[in-house]
Structure 1
Amino acid sequence: MILNRKKTSRRKRAERAERIEPHFGESSKSASRDICLSAEDRSVANGDRPRKTRKAASKPRRKTAKKSRNKKRSLLSRFLRGGIYWGFVLGIWGVIAVIGVVGYYGAQLPQTSSWSVPERPPNAKIVSVDGALIANRGVTGGEAMMLGEMSPYIPMAVIAIEDRRFQSHFGFDPIGFTRAMVTNLIAGRLTQGGSTLTQQLAKNLFLKPERTFARKVQELILAIWLETKYSKDEILELYLNRVYFGSGAYGVDAAARRYFQKSARDVSLAEAALIAGLLKAPSKLSPARNPKLAQARAQLVLAAMRREGFVTKNETNKALSMEPKKAKRYWSGSQHYVADLVMKELPSLIGDFQKNVIVDTTIDLKMQKLAGKIISNTLKKKGKKLRVSQGALVAMDANGAIRALVGGNEYADSQFNRATDAMRQPGSAFKPFVYLAALERGLTPASIRMDAPVKIGNWTPKNYDKKYRGAVTLSTALAKSLNTVAAQLATEVGPGNVVATAHRLGINSKLQNNASIALGTSEVKLMELTGAYVPFANGGYRITPHIIKRVKDLKGNVLYERRSENADQVIRPRELGMMNIMLQQVVEKGTGKAARIKGWQVAGKTGTSQNSRDGLFIGYTANLITGIWYGNDNGKPTNKVTGGSIPAQSWNAFMTGALKGVPIADLPGNYIGEVSVIPTARPSRPIVRAPRNIARFVAPAKPRNAAPVVIKPRQDTRQTTRIAARSVGPRPSAGLGDSNKNRQKPRTIMDLLFGG
């Protein structure tokens, strides 16, 4: 069987050897060589293929996969190498471009040799007579402070919320800038700035508030220069003293005083957080405008401070528990009326100052606070009922130094100073000038005039109570503020002489030369009216009201100092004594009873204008002269406010506090009281002799159906600057009075009858 199989196999191999393959015109050998398939090429069953042949076929496949992998690696490597190369190239070009841009915009800046931090706008530190701060005035609204002087919470709060890498960057924070840009892109709007504190300082110091690419580049250049020129603490100090915090406050001290009425030295953690929060949007976030929004921003600042490790958790929680309070819309407090007046007068004394100055004033801060409190509380309690909305007060000593000044109810609501600028009718508070003019022409407090209906030309003055008392002394007429008698006296002495007397004592406003001047129809300022009463208290000498005592710079160099002036005597001792006796009667027995102070000699005069539009009381002791006014800015009538009501009451409250601890002093003057004889049909009691220095008067009988007293207005032909000479006492050397040979005879029927 095996041999047969071998034979068969040989035969088949022989047949295969002899097989002739088809060809196309070429030799069979050649054709066979070109077309024939090798054993490896023929299709055979898997089981018949030799094992070596399968191994040989797998090797090319592995090589192909390896080549593919190597090719991918090669592409990635080439890409990376290309990226690095082109990145490096672009980087070089980017640096060149940055240098070009910086060089281009930097060339538009002045030379670096001329760069310097500009001086902070000058500040005027206004202090009281004992050195206590009243207010700061200037562009900034506050004084510059050393970093170590201010509350430590302030710089911590600002750094935490505005520039937490401030201590490590070089003026520009790439990380913060990139983060801000990404945040803005995601938000689709500008939500973060990316500027460092140094960049903000550079912008505030050197550049205009423009939002341009050129300004941003210049800001960066200047920020880097600042970092090379100053230390971090110096930069932070400059920033905190210059940056704007809204409501006209530049610098942290101004902000602290504006919103919290305190120095930046005393600011708490919660207050520091609120101040720092204002930097993002000073007007929008102002506690004077939106306290809740300001408080919400302050909470973000506190969280940032906690995150940076500046404060503890307990400190943060305590600060967060504070309730938001709305600040005043403007600077609050009556002392700001003082500051405004100081700044109004300062240029005339030292010119336009270019450096910080300290202004020493004559203000007593305790009196100032008391005055502001009294005016404010009076209007708060009684203003609505009495239909009065404003008040003013001026207090000065016998030399004219202003001790307290209140220009209105609330400075935050109205900065108009009614004490120095408002022109109002003084009413009967003007009558002392009428009576002084009459006394200087020979009359006395005991002289008699008829309180009866009187007609002067076409004018018929009437008393406030519409009543008439018949024959009265001048002292009684002034104490009861009788208009009929004042009008008669003005006509007798001449309105021009009344005007001259008022001007001589210190009234500067223009006064109408007519008989109604006796009732205070010409408008004056409370300041000048109060100043014109000072001669009654100081012995008869005219003064100039003043509030600035000294001005000096921070080094102590005196720029201005007020010197004592040679005052002119404008009231003679005898007439001065008469006036003080009569004006004391106003307080003791007349319309000014509410002003009485136990133990003190108090003199003064009430004033009420037509329809109770104005209520005034001007009063004085030998130490202090104070004028108070109540009314409405629009001139609307009040609800029967008179000078003897809330003006006299407020005067009493202020003077009682202001004179506490002050030695009691008598009012000046040289006059011995006289006896007044008032004719009556049946005298009810004998005439009583008056004790020394006090005139006693017998009450007159009330007339029946008294006929009107008709007085023809007198035309003045003399100069109104001289006093008519009906003098008795010593004549001063101030040019007051005429010679005795020019004494005039009595001119009226009443003078002829009663020897007045």
Structure 2
Amino acid sequence: MTAQGPDRPGEDGTETRAAAREAARAAALLARQLGRLAGSAGRSVWRSGTAAARGAAREAAPVLARTRTRLRATGHRDAAAAPVAETVPQAPRRSTRLPRRPWLLGLAVLVGLPLVILAGYVFAAFATLPPLGGAAPEAGQRALVVEAESGRSFATRGAFQGERLTEKTLPPRLAQAIVAIEDRRFYSHWGIDLRGMARAVWRNATGGGVREGGSTITQQYARLTSLTQEKTLKRKIQEAFLALRLESTLSKPEILVGYLNTAYFGAGAYGADAAARRYFGHGAEGLTLPEAAMLAGLVRAPSQLAPTRNFGGAKERADLVLQAMVETGAISQAEADKARAAKLTLHTPPETPPGTNYFLDALQGEVKRLTEAAGDVTVRSTLNLELQSLAEGVLARRLDAEGGKKKVGQGALVALAPDGAILAMVGGRDYEDSQFNRATQAKRQAGSLFKLFVYLAAYGKGFTPDSVLVDRPTQIGEWEPQNANNRFRGALPLRSAFALSVNTIAAQLGEEVGIASVIAEARRLGVQSDLPEVPSLALGSADVSLLEMTRAFAGVLGPGVPVEPYLVRTIRGSGPQALYQRPAPKAGSPMDSQVQSMMLDSLQAVVESGTGKAARVGGLAVGGKTGTSQDFRDAWFIGLTPDMIVGVWVGNDDNAPMNKVTGGDIPARVFHDFVERAQKVLKGRKRPAPSAARAEPVPASAVAPAPSPATGEVRGVPEVVDTGTLTIRGRTVHLLGVVGEGGALARQLARYLRRREVVCSGEPAGLRCRLDGDDLAALIVTAGGARASEDAPSDLIEAEDQARAERAGLWQRER
């Protein structure tokens, strides 16, 4: 064995370590150069990076060559390839410089950073993916279909749920229609339709706006049941993930049925069956081809296209659906043409008449109290649509004419049948401005209206209408009541004192019979508000509602007290048995017939010779009582006829004083206007029912008779000056009873009359004109194109009331 000394080359490993260090230094240099190029993207960046890498390799080549030579000399052939764990010195400064083209690094960042952010966003969306069905809406408030007393449906409330469809009950035509218009490749794609998305992007870009969506039915179903409706990139990504999951767990028919059971079809209808019942009066299994096409067209924009709001738009969309079904081969062109020509009739009115919402608010609470049964229900109410429209019109007309001058901002009206059925209810001037119901919710001082209970208590204790008391200065404790005119009339029979609303005599009677007895009479007739036992209560210092006071007056007319106001006659569900049927009314405790007769006599005296003269109606027995609170803050009139009890209140919501308005002023006049014209309705001469937002215009021949031909009639194609004035063959024609409007309404009338002949006859001051046999003035006023003048014939006034009630034409936002 030969011993090796330290002076032999390689024997002590010094040169080996030096070679290893040089190899490590070269490897580190090469790694740094390549690392700087790793994040670049694009073909040009790759090419440049490759060239730089080659340059780095050339720089490192001499070092590597020297290392290999020295290792061979020492006998270590593989040392250069061995891993090096030692710390290597820093590479020469020149080898660490950035690439010669620094803009390439910026380009790499611009391209790569958004990709990294997008990848992170997609990962975050996936990580927060909600479970399928996690956002499925809970069953909302059950839907009410409300019928008037005549049986006509006029309003809906709540969300319609209907019956859930299954694969067996899914109407084939509805399935074909929804696939044709929403997702033609539904049965071939896997949840996401890239072709459909590209088509939608192209059509939206070339069409100048969003004209088509790119979501498949599966994506829409995922959104409806698991996601919110917010329009964000995160939601779209999650929608795509969930669509893929749905396609892997459900069959195509299951997805389609689920979608149709969940989609919103407008007007409170969720699900296809609910929509079919809402719009057409039957379940989805009975849908015809035109009906199925209309429903399929709604899901894209249900609120905008709901046929109850926009029947024309819904029909146009249905025609597009039919054409799409032809293009997909679901139906023939002949079938599509036949479906387009078919007449579609809505089961319920296009829009709830705005003024009836006060009544509907009260009815909804009553239905909840009467039955808690689940599911959609149909309610037969007590509302008389003709009287309701009339009530809204007469109150609005009076407030429009006199409210500004007399500082009256609000009013309310309630009409009861003798048994308590609420025939009409107006809770304010405009429901859209204020949903506060001044007929049921407002509590205001009744003023002299409260004297009803004082005189009932007095008549019950032996006084009669002929009993005499003295109108004189009166003091009860520290209270000194005053008369409205600050004068005293001396001795008066109670009939006259009541008719003239003498305060001092009412205060004396209250003290005589006792305020406790007055309160007892008010309670017996149904007043439930707090009634303080103070002397001033005799003059109506307590706050009460219009409905409870009208109810109390009804007790004087009826066979028993108290009279119970009610709004619901029957409630029906999906089954054959009624959920609620109003029982036969139980007779309340009878009022003493002699007291009742004396009270009715006193009430009639108010209208015949007292403060309520403005309420007189020719040929009709009317009784009533006026009421005015302190500083003219409230004015009331409640009147009785053989058929109705009508209460009217006017005032201001902020309790501001009016301009000396008393109960015998605007309230009594509103009562007169309403009752005079209501008699025609109650006696069988039906006014045209509200046409539900003009979906099916009422023929003018039903509103007014056509004028008979007269000598000197004018015939020809008219030119429109305004909606009440025409020019025919150089002659100016003023339509009788019409206050014309210019501007857009006049232009609309001109388009309507273009090239159509009218025939006019009558007095020169005002003519009645006919268009195709219908009265032109009635057509214009009913459509809201003009106002009726103060001296207009009654048919035109009624036509204006109808237009007001429906918010037609100029009444759309009239205040």
8 Å contact from structure 1 (residues 535, 570) kept in 2:
no
Task: Give the conservation status (yes or no) of the 8 Å contact 2:379–2:571.
Answer: yes
Following the alignment from structure 2 to structure 1, what is the Cα–Cα distance between the partners of residues 251 and 490?
Answer: 89
Equivalent residue number for residue 348 of structure 1: 369
CA drift at 1:209: 4.3
**Counterpart in 2 of 1:555?**
575
Task: For 1:562, give the aligned amino acid.
Answer: R
Could you say which residue in structure 1 is the equivalent of 2:530?
510
Q: Which residue number in structure 2 is paired with residue 39 of structure 1?
A: none
Following the alignment from structure 2 to structure 1, what is the Cα–Cα distance between the partners of residues 179 and 426? 41
Is residue 435 from structure 1 mapped to residue 455 from structure 2 by the alignment? yes
CA distance in 2, matches of 1:460, 1:223: 85
Indicate the residue corresponding to 2:242 in structure 1.
Answer: 218
* Conserved 8 A contact 1:395-1:626: yes
* Offset, 1:627: 0.6
User: Which residue, 423, 431, 435 being the options, matches 1:415?
Assistant: 435
Is 1:377 the counterpart of 2:397? The answer is: yes
Could you tell me how far 1:578 is from its partner in structure 2?
0.4
2:758 corresponds to:
none
Q: Once the 2 structures are TM-superposed, how far is the Cα of residue 637 of structure 1 from its aligned partner?
A: 1.3
Give percent identity, aligned residues only. Answer: 39
Aligned equivalents of 1:388, 1:164: Cα separation in 2? 60
**SS across alignment from 2:475:** strand
Residues 488-526 of structure 1 show CA distances to partners (whole Å, capped at 9, x for unaligned) of 111111111111110111101111111111111101111
Question: Residue by residue, what CA displacement relative to the aligned partner does 1:315-338 show, whole Å, maximum 9, x if unpaired?
Answer: 9xxxxxxxxxxxx9x975221111
Decide whether aligned partners of structure 1 residues 472 and 136 sit closer, same or farther in structure 2, where only a CA change above 3 A counts: same
Q: More displaced, 505-514 or 369-378?
A: 369-378
Give SS of 1:194's match.
Answer: coil
Does structure 2 retain, via aligned residues, the 8 Å contact 1:332–1:412? Answer: no
Show the counterpart of 2:79: none
SS at match of 1:334: helix
Q: How far 1:598 sits from its partner (Å)? A: 2.0
Letter of the aligned partner of 1:217 in structure 2? F
Q: What are the superposed Cα offsets for residues 648-697 of structure 1, whole Å, 9 maximum, x if unpaired?
A: 11112222232326579xxxxxxxxxxxxxxxxxxxxxxxxxxxxxxxxx
Write out per-residue CA displacement over residues 612-634 of structure 1, whole angstroms, 9 at most, x where no aligned residue.
Answer: 11111111122211111111111
Match of 1:498 in 2: 518
CA distance in 2: counterparts of 1:108 and 1:254, whole angstroms: 26
Kindly report which structure 2 residues correspond to 1:207-286, keeping only aligned pairs within 5 A, or say none: 207-209=227-229, 211=235, 213-219=237-243, 221-222=245-246, 228-229=252-253, 238=261, 242-243=263-264
Given that 1:105 and 1:217 are in contact with CA atoms closer than 8 Å, whether structure 2 keeps it comes out as no
Whole-Å separation in 2 of the counterparts to 1:297 and 1:544: 44
Q: What do you get for the CA RMSD once the two structures are aligned?
A: 5.3
User: 2:622 maps to what in 1?
Assistant: 602
Q: Which residue of 2 aligns with 1:124?
A: 144
User: Which of 528, 544, 548 pairs up with 2:548?
Assistant: 528
Using the TM superposition, give the Cα deviation of residue 298 of structure 1 relative to its aligned residue in structure 2, in angstroms: 12
Return closer, same or farther for 1:590/1:157 CA change in 2, 3 Å cut-off. farther
Match of 2:197 among 177, 181, 188: 177
| Partner Cα separation in structure 2 for residue 629 and residue 253 of structure 1 | 44
Number of residue pairs matched by the alignment: 530
1:332–1:410 contact (8 Å) kept in structure 2? no
Structure 1 residue aligned with 2:702: none
Code of the aligned partner of 1:229: P
Following the alignment from structure 2 to structure 1, what is the Cα–Cα distance between the partners of residues 397 and 294?
Answer: 30
Q: Pick from 535, 546, 558: which aligns with 1:538? A: 558
Pairing of 1:692-703 with structure 2 (within 5 A): none
Gaps of 5+ in 1: 1-100, 147-153, 266-271, 316-327, 665-756
Identify the residue that residue 728 of structure 1 maps to in structure 2: none
- The match for 1:391 is 411
Contact kept, 8 Å, 1:198 with 1:227, in 2: the verdict is no
* 1:659 aligned counterpart, secondary structure: helix
Please report how far the alpha carbon of residue 438 of structure 1 lies from its aligned counterpart in structure 2 after TM superposition: 0.8
Q: Which has the higher contact order (CA 8 A, sep 6+)?
A: 1
Asked whether the equivalents of residues 536 and 579 of structure 1 are also in contact (C-alpha less than 8 Å), the reply is: yes
**Secondary structure in 2 matching 1:126:** strand
Aligned to 2:661: 641
Out of 443, 448, 463, the residue aligned to residue 468 of structure 2 is 448
Tell me if structure 2 keeps the 8 A contact 1:122–1:354.
Answer: yes
Work out the CA distance in 1 between the residues paired with 2:236 and 2:663.
63
Partner of 1:660, secondary structure, is: helix
Report the equivalent of 2:485.
465
After superposition, the Cα gap between the structure-2 partners of 1:134 and 1:426, relative to the gap in structure 1 and judged at 3 Å, is farther
Deviation at 1:225, TM superposition (A): 7.5
Residues 385 and 105 (structure 1), Cα distance of their counterparts in 2 relative to 1, 3 Å cut? closer
Match of residue 672 from structure 2: 652
Give the secondary-structure state (helix, strand or coil) at the position aligned to 2:412. Answer: strand
Q: 2:146–2:379: 8 Å Cα contact kept in structure 1?
A: yes
User: What is the one-letter code of the residue matched to 2:150?
Assistant: D
Report the AA paired with residue 600 of structure 1. L
Q: Aligned-pair distance for 1:456?
A: 1.8
**Letter aligned with residue 622 of structure 1:** P
Q: Write out per-residue CA displacement over residues 440-462 of structure 1, whole angstroms, 9 at most, x where no aligned residue.
A: 11111011111122222222211
Do structure 1's residue 474 and structure 2's residue 494 form an aligned pair?
yes
SS in 2 for 1:606: strand
Would you say the 8 A contact 1:105–1:218 is kept in 2?
no
In the TM superposition, residue 103 of structure 1 has moved relative to its aligned partner by 13
Give TM-score, length-normalised by structure 1.
Answer: 0.59
Residue 354 of structure 2 corresponds to 333
Identify which range, 612-621 or 535-544, moves more after superposition. Answer: 535-544
Larger mean Cα displacement after TM superposition, 273-282 or 594-603: 273-282
Please tell me whether the aligned partners of residues 134 and 339 of structure 1 are also in contact (alpha carbons under 8 angstroms). Answer: no
Aligned counterparts of 1:592 and 1:143: Cα–Cα separation in 2: 52
Contact 1:172–1:223 under 8 Å retained in 2: no
Structure 1 residues 103, 461: closer, same or farther in 2, change over 3 A? closer
Specify the code of the residue in structure 2 equivalent to 1:203.
R
Q: In structure 2, do the counterparts of structure 1 residues 361 and 302 end up closer, same or farther at CA, with 3 Å as the change threshold?
A: closer
Q: Shift of the alpha carbon at 1:127? A: 1.0
Closer, same or farther in 2 for the Cα pair 1:403/1:462, shift >3 Å? same
- Offset of 1:204 from its aligned partner? 2.3
**8 Å contact from structure 2 (residues 412, 439) kept in 1:** yes
The one-letter code matched in structure 1 to 2:664 is G
Could you tell me how far 1:424 is from its partner in structure 2?
1.0
- Find the residue that maps to 1:605 and give its secondary structure: strand
Contact 2:634 2:649 in 1 (8 A): yes
The residue matched to 2:517 in structure 1 has which SS? helix
Counterpart CA distance in 2 for 1:465 and 1:122 is 55
Q: TM-score, normalised by structure 2?
A: 0.55
Does the C-alpha gap of structure 1 residues 231 and 219 become closer, same or farther in structure 2, counting only changes over 3 Å?
closer
Structure with greater Cα Rg: 1
> For residues 360-414 of structure 1, what are the alpha-carbon distances to aligned partners after superposition, in whole Å with 9 as ceiling and x for unaligned?
1111222122112222222223222222121111111111111111111111111
- Aligned to 2:363, the other structure's residue is in SS state helix
Superposition deviation, residue 606 in structure 1: 0.8
Q: Deviations over 1:569-624 (max 9, x none)?
A: 25200000000001000011111111112222211101111121111111112221
Helix, strand or coil at the partner of 2:507: helix
Q: In 1, are the aligned partners of 2:560 and 2:587 still within 8 Å (CA)?
A: no
Residue aligning to 1:133: 153
Cα 1:450–1:365 change in 2 (3 A) is same
Query: 1:391, 1:408 within 8 Å by CA — same for their partners in 2?
Result: yes
**1:34 aligned partner:** none
Go from structure 1 to structure 2 and tell me whether the alpha carbon gap of 1:483 and 1:163 turns closer, same or farther (over 3 Å shift).
Answer: farther
**1:298 & 1:660 partners in 2: Cα distance?**
38
Paired residue secondary structure (1:454): coil
C-alpha spacing 1:117/1:389, structure 2 compared with 1 (3 Å): closer
